[in-house]
Chain A
Amino acid sequence: MTAAISAAISVLLIVVAIAIIVVVIRSGRRRPTRIPIDTRNASELAMSTEAHGAAGGDSQGPTRRRFFGFVAVIGACIGALIVKLWSMQVISGAEYTAKAEGNRINEYTTIAPRGRIFDRNGVELVGNRSTFAVLASADVQNDKLVLQRLSDVLGIPRETISSLAASQTQGAQADRVIALDVDDRAVAYISEHPNAFPGVRIESRTVRTYPHDDLAAHVLGYTGTISQEELKREVNGLTYESGDIVGKDGVEQAFESYLQGDRGIKRVEVNAAGEVVNAVDSVEPVQGNDIRITIDANVQKVAEEALRRAFADAAMSGNDSARSGAIVCMNCNTGEVIAMASAPSYNPSQFIGGISSDVWEEMTSEDSAYPLSNRCIAGLYPAASTFKGFTGLAGLEYGFVTDSSVWECEGTWTGFGEEWPQKCWKTEGHGSIGFHKGIVESCDVVFYEIAKNFYQYNENETALQDYLKSWGFGSKTGIELSGESEGRVPTPEWKKKFNRDAPESQAWLPGDLSNLIIGQGDLLVTPLQICCGYAGLATGRVPKPVLLHSVVSTDGTMTAVDGARYQGSIIQPEFDQKNIDIMRSGFRGVVEDGSVSGVFEDMGITTSGKTGTGEVAGKDDYGWYVGYGPTEAPEYVCVCCIEEGGSGALCAAPAVRSVLAAAFGLSAEHVSGSATEER
């Protein structure tokens, strides 16, 4: 009702009230209303009325005045009440109504399940499962009886429950999750004895399930309760509430905006005791979108198994501290990552309901070799001889080397002077050697010669580094996952800055270049960078790696990720077709005639590749292998790096063979012991 109408009604009411008051007051006065027809008495009546008035005036005059004074008092009191009522009910009525509704209606949100995660073929990698959570208000921490009962029912120590209830991480106001995945017996007991558990409630929740346990753990990541910082950030236009479960790592975090559902709203009518009287209405929660990622579960399985076999192979060749490594396999044309394995690994289900601090400490200790780290994107290694693919091409591009160049390898190279001897991995020397064979046998001397040319190149001090950077080194590949490392391509400028506290180490020395050219020294790359780089060598374009395959909306329609996304982000480095062909024939030679020819024998397709064995001070050598196939029209590229695995040909190449075979749907049997030791 509009204010005008209500004002009019009130004015009318006041007029009526005044009328009533007047009537009532007048009725108090004696008035001969019914004058009898009997005229005989008329004069007597008139006389008597007059007489009373006079008499009343005599004895009750002051009393009458005081009575009428009371009329003013009554009027003022009732008037004040009416004015206050008007102000409360009509002017501020809506405010009070809102408060009354606030009293009566409890609104709370219901948690929406997250979207599920499938592999590229629709194999479920992360699912949902309904379970019950026990929540407690902050007051519970002070209630010893309730704590003890909870402890008995849930089988959790009282101190743990108390500290969980006191925890502020989920927000100061929100109820705290005390236990998730509570068994039915405990749920039934708590819900049937509400009086014994004040401040405790049971809520149904969905939690993540991992049908393949720790498969692709690093890619999938894990979920956890939103932190206070994340709550403030409100990324992706999503509004979070404290207690929300959000992606903390991997795909769960990268595609949070798809996976996160919309909370539902439930409105119930409650009484003063907080008991629900009836439900008013509700908006159902909307589950987050399911997504498909580019990972192929089968290839992923093979990759993880291949890592384990690689460690065994390494141990067989005497490198028994090998237990960490990474394998990435991707489509060389589109950048779709079909396998990404990192060892050691972890089981993301450990994070359901919050990870215990013991487990967390164990996972982040040095002894654990950091299982949470995704070495494919965060591991920084010397690229070793795999880098010769790029430095060799750089030498060809700058004309410092040609197909017909021939050098003499004596095992030790003194091109930068006798005081700076550089050794080839083959200490007895390769003898007379051309560029092709230099790649196949990975002769360091050949590349030292190229380094010398770059060192003597006056036009651009960092010509080599610039060229390497144009292939993506020294910067993130741009995969959707967080935690990716940039790597490092050392330059004179970098060295000066890096050693700013040690002036004696600031000078850019010839040895820095000859180390860089064989992928050693200060160079650092991630396995994913090598993978992308070789995809570039194989196809001529460096793809941006991607993990998102498609998004399945809640109505079931699948939205494929736009193909243009791959195209737009591809790096197109400069090279001469003739030169890259020289490189490719070298990579083919590695598989056909080189140290790994036995590994890739009878694989079913022809592949090309490059080995690498990195030297890390104080540790066993790091073994690399990167390969792609089919050689004629490359589709997949795969890289493997085994920390302290020794020769890449021995430990890494068999792993790459298995993964590539799996990617092509071939028999992924593990071939070990067929390689000859080589760098």
Chain B
Amino acid sequence: MPQLSFGKSPKVHARTASSAKLPGSGEKRSFFIPANIILLVLVALILLCGIITLYAVTRTETEYSIMRQVMGVGIGVIVMVGVWLFDYRRLANLVIPLIVLDVILILLPMVPGLGHEVNGATSWIKIGSLTFQPSELAKPVTILAIGAATAQYQGSIVRGADFLKLLGILLIPFVLLMREDLGTALVILIVGFCILLIGGVARRWLIISVVTAVVGVAALLGLNGVVNDWTGGDVQLIRQYQMSRLLVFIDPDNPEYADDAYNLNQAKIAVGSGELVGKGWGNATQSSGGFLPESATDFIFCVYAEQFGFMGAFILLVLYLALLLTALGIGLSSSDLFGSLIAAGIMAMWLFQIVENIGMDLGLMPITGIPLPFMSYGSSFMFTNFICVGLLLSVWARRNDALG
């Protein structure tokens, strides 16, 4: 693979832990900031898959606009460039402000007059005709906050107090988001955990927290029933639709969850009926006939797989694999732990979303509203993903730099 990032002489590569500045390091600040072309090409290819699929969907579902999506990409690219040019390392010491920003973003939809309800969840804000999901933006902010906090421990978190402090930072956005948007909350939890993992959490804390999480989830499920009984359903720890989606995954034949079972079934039929080579572009009958719900957002992979079959799905998964490995490579390449953790967080976020979104289409995962990166319709989500690409580029561009 050619070295695609060059500004100057090979001397640039010379960097040591002692950061002894070599002659000529002053010339580093050049007009060209190195970009990871592979990353950009992969993102572009996946975006193309998404746009092609969305175009087919819009032929029957007029509520989606291809222009809106392209505009989302355009704005995303501008933001990406901005983030890329910005030196992420300036945030390394701003853990508290990042957490505050995170909380503000999460609580923004609860501000009266701003909040906007979509599908029963108030996780949107509406300004004029523009709707935006600020919790989406909370994902990269959380990555930055946890990453910055974790990086301060230099790759070794052994003391319980330190671990609890980091866990606390992680649990703030999770708990705040849990009620309104469990999907995003879970993404943040998983991503935070991966950052902690790579950030050097001692094995014992890891095991303890995993066990605690399992027990906690079990307790929550149990308690949910008790609280429901006590309050006659007025207070629900877990919303009914969340419970139903979880239960239909465990017990798909139970008629009580027929609606969710229907969605799952239609998603599987869409994917399976694509067979090896697919039905061809624009021939996704499951989506055009309206059998498949949310065909441009949550279930866009089904539409893609129905049209392009196993071959198309395989290509898309290989693209995602390459994207994840590229993110991982960028993390590896970073000269400082903060950069590595940002890349690791982004990679974990994408991985979880890909596995959850595609997994639910295949019946491997419970149905949630987690979108598929660069494929699903929605500008907030697109915006977030481009911020992440920008962060990766920012890390990559400065992989050889000492702070300066």
A: which residues have CB within 8 A of B? 1, 6, 9-10, 13, 16-17, 20-21, 23-28, 30-34, 36, 41, 44-45, 48-49, 51-52, 55, 58-60, 62-64, 66-67, 70-71, 73-75, 77-78, 80-82, 84-86, 88-90, 92-97, 99-101, 103-104, 269-273, 277
Q: Given the complex, which residues of A lie within 8 Å of B348, measured CB to CB? A: 70
Q: Are A96 and B273 in contact (CB under 8 A)?
A: yes
From the candidates A10, A26, A95, name the one contacting B272 in the complex (CB within 8 A).
A95
Q: Does B369 contact A (CB under 8 A)?
A: no
Residue of A with least CB distance to B358 = A81
From the candidates A23, A45, A73, A89, name the one contacting B1 in the complex (CB within 8 A).
A23
Q: Given the complex, which residues of A lie within 8 Å of B290, measured CB to CB? A: 271-273
Q: Given the complex, which residues of B lie within 8 Å of A66, measured CB to CB? A: 197-198, 200
Q: Is the interface of A mostly helix, strand, loop or mixed?
A: helix
Measured in the bound complex, the distance between the Cα atoms of B269 and A530 in whole Å is 70
19 pairs, CB–CB < 8 Å, chain A vs chain B:
A21-B321, A24-B329, A27-B329, A31-B3, A34-B2, A48-B13, A59-B154, A62-B155, A67-B332, A78-B317, A88-B268, A88-B272, A93-B272, A96-B269, A96-B272, A100-B273, A100-B306, A103-B269, A272-B290
Measured in the bound complex, the distance between the Cα atoms of B1 and A100 in whole Å is 44
Q: Does B324 contact A (CB under 8 A)?
A: yes
From the candidates A24, A44, A101, name the one contacting B11 in the complex (CB within 8 A).
A44
Q: Are A88 and B325 in contact (CB under 8 A)?
A: no
> A104 and B285 in contact (CB under 8 A), knowing A81-B364, A272-B290?
yes
Residue of B with least CB distance to A67 = B332
Measured in the bound complex, the distance between the Cα atoms of B326 and A27 in whole Å is 8
Q: Are A41 and B9 in contact (CB under 8 A)?
A: yes
Q: Given the complex, which residues of A lie within 8 Å of B313, measured CB to CB? A: 85, 89
Looking at A31, A52, A74, A95, which has the most chain B CB atoms within 10 Å of its CB?
Answer: A74
Given contacts A84-B364, A85-B317, 11 further A-B contacts (CB under 8 A): A9-B276, A13-B311, A32-B13, A33-B1, A44-B14, A52-B15, A66-B200, A70-B194, A94-B275, A103-B291, A277-B289
User: How extensive is the interface on chain B, given as a class?
Assistant: 35 or more
Q: Given the complex, which residues of B lie within 8 Å of A55, measured CB to CB? A: 15-18
> A103 and B286 in contact (CB under 8 A), knowing A41-B10, A52-B16, A93-B275?
yes
Q: Are B289 and A74 in contact (CB under 8 A)?
A: no
Q: Does B347 contact A (CB under 8 A)?
A: yes
Number of A-B pairs whose CB atoms are under 8 Å? 218
- Chain B, range 23-39, C-beta contacts under 8 Å to A: 38
Please give me the 7 A-B residue pairs with the lowest Cβ-Cβ distance, nearest first.
Answer: A96-B272, A28-B329, A27-B1, A93-B275, A48-B14, A272-B290, A100-B273
Measured in the bound complex, the distance between the Cα atoms of B354 and A77 in whole Å is 9
Measured in the bound complex, the distance between the Cα atoms of B83 and A412 in whole Å is 133
Q: Are B276 and A70 in contact (CB under 8 A)?
A: no
Q: Does B192 contact A (CB under 8 A)?
A: no
Q: Does B143 contact A (CB under 8 A)?
A: no
Q: Given the complex, which residues of A lie within 8 Å of B200, measured CB to CB? A: 62-63, 66
User: C-beta contact mask, B344-359 vs A, less than 8 Å → 1, else 0?
Assistant: 1001100100110011
Q: Given the complex, which residues of B lie within 8 Å of A96, measured CB to CB? A: 268-269, 271-273, 275
Q: Does B264 contact A (CB under 8 A)?
A: no
Q: Are B3 and A82 in contact (CB under 8 A)?
A: no
Q: Given the complex, which residues of B lie within 8 Å of A90, measured CB to CB? A: 275-276, 310
Q: Does B371 contact A (CB under 8 A)?
A: no
Q: Are B275 and A85 in contact (CB under 8 A)?
A: no
CB of A145, distance to nearest CB on chain B (Å): 24
Q: Are A13 and B314 in contact (CB under 8 A)?
A: yes
Q: Given the complex, which residues of A lie within 8 Å of B378, measured CB to CB? A: none
Q: Are A71 and B362 in contact (CB under 8 A)?
A: no
Q: Is the interface of B mostly helix, strand, loop or mixed?
A: helix
Q: Are B1 and A26 in contact (CB under 8 A)?
A: yes
Q: Does B270 contact A (CB under 8 A)?
A: yes
- Chain B, range 151-206, C-beta contacts under 8 Å to A: 154-156, 194, 197-200
Measured in the bound complex, the distance between the Cα atoms of B291 and A270 in whole Å is 10
B: which residues have CB within 8 A of A? 1-3, 9-11, 13-18, 38, 154-156, 194, 197-200, 266, 268-277, 285-286, 288-291, 305-306, 309-311, 313-315, 317-318, 320-322, 324-326, 328-333, 337, 340, 344, 347-348, 351, 354-355, 358-359, 362, 364
Q: Given the complex, which residues of B lie within 8 Å of A31, measured CB to CB? A: 1, 3
Q: Are B314 and A10 in contact (CB under 8 A)?
A: yes
> A100 and B270 in contact (CB under 8 A), knowing A59-B154, A67-B344, A85-B310?
yes
Measured in the bound complex, the distance between the Cα atoms of B318 and A6 in whole Å is 18
CB of B155, distance to nearest CB on chain A (Å): 5
Q: Are B351 and A28 in contact (CB under 8 A)?
A: no
Q: Are B329 and A70 in contact (CB under 8 A)?
A: no
CB of B13, distance to nearest CB on chain A (Å): 6
> A10 and B310 in contact (CB under 8 A), knowing A77-B355, A272-B290?
yes
> A97 and B273 in contact (CB under 8 A), knowing A36-B10, A74-B321?
yes
Measured in the bound complex, the distance between the Cα atoms of B14 and A41 in whole Å is 12
Q: Given the complex, which residues of B lie within 8 Å of A49, measured CB to CB? A: 13
CB of B277, distance to nearest CB on chain A (Å): 7
Residue of A with least CB distance to B293 = A272
Q: Given the complex, which residues of A lie within 8 Å of B355, measured CB to CB? A: 77, 81
Q: Given the complex, which residues of A lie within 8 Å of B317, measured CB to CB? A: 78, 81-82, 85
Looking at B1, B14, B325, B359, which has the most chain A CB atoms within 10 Å of its CB?
Answer: B325
Q: Are B322 and A84 in contact (CB under 8 A)?
A: no
Q: Are A33 and B272 in contact (CB under 8 A)?
A: no
Q: Are B276 and A6 in contact (CB under 8 A)?
A: yes
Q: Given the complex, which residues of B lie within 8 Å of A75, measured CB to CB? A: 321
Q: Given the complex, which residues of B lie within 8 Å of A28, measured CB to CB? A: 325-326, 328-330, 332-333
Measured in the bound complex, the distance between the Cα atoms of B325 and A471 in whole Å is 100
Residue of A with least CB distance to B288 = A271
Q: Are A92 and B155 in contact (CB under 8 A)?
A: no
Q: Are B325 and A24 in contact (CB under 8 A)?
A: yes
CB of B353, distance to nearest CB on chain A (Å): 11
Looking at B15, B269, B273, which has the most chain A CB atoms within 10 Å of its CB?
Answer: B273
> A80 and B364 in contact (CB under 8 A), knowing A27-B329, A52-B16?
yes
Q: Given the complex, which residues of A lie within 8 Å of B38, measured CB to CB? A: 24, 27
Q: Are A63 and B337 in contact (CB under 8 A)?
A: yes
> A73 and B351 in contact (CB under 8 A), knowing A17-B318, A24-B326, A85-B310?
yes
